[in-house]
Amino acid sequence: MRAIIGPNGCGKTTLFNLITGYLQPESGRVVFEGRDIARLALYQVARLGIVRKFQVPSLFAGLTVEENLRIAGAAEPSDLLSRFDLGAVRSQNAGTLAHGQKQWLELAMTLAARPRLLLLDEPAAGLTAAERGKTVELVKGLRKDFGLGIMLIEHDMRFVEALECPVSVMDMGRIIAAGTFAEVRRDPRVREAYLGVAGA
């Protein structure tokens, strides 16, 4: 698992777009499990097991929670409903869920798609402190229990720190630092990228 952080406009979403095939690179390669996937179509990338969750939950609002999971590929959604604490709302329309529940439902839907690499775009966006803590444990559980590769973009530094995973920092389209959360937080290049003042 790796968190990608950096100021707005630094290239985080572009990176995800290149990995998933939404954008085609002008040069270079995108290598997944030893294969260059840079010029594959979106559906071909998805078939390799690269699954993306966007910042704003993309759900079928007029369908129930359980129906959303079945559409995503869950033949029997009970385990997912239990893991993501959605059992009590399984028959509720997805559009009526609280924001945190919508985030968890979409996480469950990505898992139903049987990913090998999961890309999460700001999974903590809009969450309360309690929801954020629960989401940290859910994401850690996906890594531990299913052995998934996970990359995530995040602006919430408390969330990133709690994940206890390696962090890469982007600025102007490049990785400028990588390491533990504590290491990158101390790096003067990171301070300058975020604050505009070296050593600030």
Domain boundaries, the chain: 2-62+106-195
Fold classification of 2-62+106-195 (topology level): Rossmann fold (3.40.50)
State the pLDDT at residue 134: 95
> pLDDT tens digit string along 139-149?
999 999 998 99
Q: How far apart are CA 82 and CA 187, in angstroms?
A: 41
Q: How far, in Å, CA of 172 to CA of 14, rounded? A: 11
3-state secondary structure 35-99: EECCCCCHHHHHHCCEEEECCCCCCCCCCEHHHHHHHHCCCCCHHHHHHCCCHHHCCCEHHHCCH
Taking the CA atoms of residue 43, residue 44, residue 50 and residue 53 in that order, the dihedral angle to the nearest 10 degrees is -10
The C-alpha angle 112, 114, 117, rounded to 5 degrees, equals 125
Contact 59, 94 (CB under 8 A): yes
Low-confidence residues in the chain, pLDDT < 50: 197-200
The pair of three-digit structure tokens given for residue 108, joined into one six-digit string: 């469950």
pLDDT in tens, 115-153: 999 999 999 999 999 999 999 999 999 999 998 999 999
Nearest to 19 by CA among 33, 8, 5, 1: 33
pTM to 2 decimals?
Answer: 0.89
